């Protein structure tokens, strides 16, 4: 019983072991896989390797529409898509995704470049 009294006084005089979470947030660790941060859509060549390697089939790549879509609720945050991308345009964010009320997919569409617009207009005429 006297050993316990020593523990009580030691705990009363030391600082708390936990953080005051909403006010003191712990920084994330290096190389934490929080969520898919996004896509450098201008660098993407729409090869589709990321969608083929995705184990949960959360990524859809459309070469014709030059679009890229991810369902964040199917994603298992494994990071394979970011590893296999030949242009490294997919990146993982260290912060975890926040909770939401509405389920929406992240959709990225590549805008045509000015030279491509001119080529398309001359092809139509």
pTM above threshold 0.75: no
pLDDT digits (tens, 9 = 90+) for 12-64: 888 888 888 778 888 877 777 777 877 788 888 889 898 999 999 988 888 88
What are 118's two structure tokens? 């001119």
Does 63 reside within a domain?
Answer: yes
Does 18 reside within a domain?
Answer: no
Does 1 reside within a domain?
Answer: no
Statement: residue 121 has pLDDT above 70: no
Does 83 reside within a domain?
Answer: yes
The per-residue pLDDT for 114 is 67
Does 43 reside within a domain?
Answer: yes
Does 35 reside within a domain?
Answer: yes
What is the DSSP annotation of 30-83?
TT---EEEEE-TTT-----HHHHH-TT--EEEETTTTEEEE-TTT-----HHHH
Contact in structure between 41 and 89 (CB atoms under 8 Å): yes
What are 45's two structure tokens? 């060549």
Number of domains in the chain: 1
Of 44 and 117, the structure prediction assigns the larger pLDDT to 44
Does 15 reside within a domain?
Answer: no
CATH of the domain at 38: 3.30.70.3270
Residue 63 belongs to domain spanning: 28-110
Does 58 reside within a domain?
Answer: yes
């Amino acid at each position: 019983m006297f050993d316990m009294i020593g523990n009580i006084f030691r705990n009363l005089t030391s600082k708390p072991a936990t953080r005051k979470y909403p006010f003191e947030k712990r920084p994330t660790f290096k190389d934490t896989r929080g969520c898919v941060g996004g896509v450098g859509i201008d660098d993407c060549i729409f090869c589709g390797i990321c969608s083929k390697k995705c184990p949960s089939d959360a990524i859809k790549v459309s070469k014709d529409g030059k679009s890229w879509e991810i369902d964040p609720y199917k994603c298992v945050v494994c990071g394979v898509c970011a590893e296999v991308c030949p242009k490294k345009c997919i990146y993982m964010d260290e912060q975890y995704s926040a909770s939401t009320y509405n389920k929406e997919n992240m959709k990225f569409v590549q805008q045509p470049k000015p030279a491509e617009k001119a080529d398309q207009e001359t092809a139509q005429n």
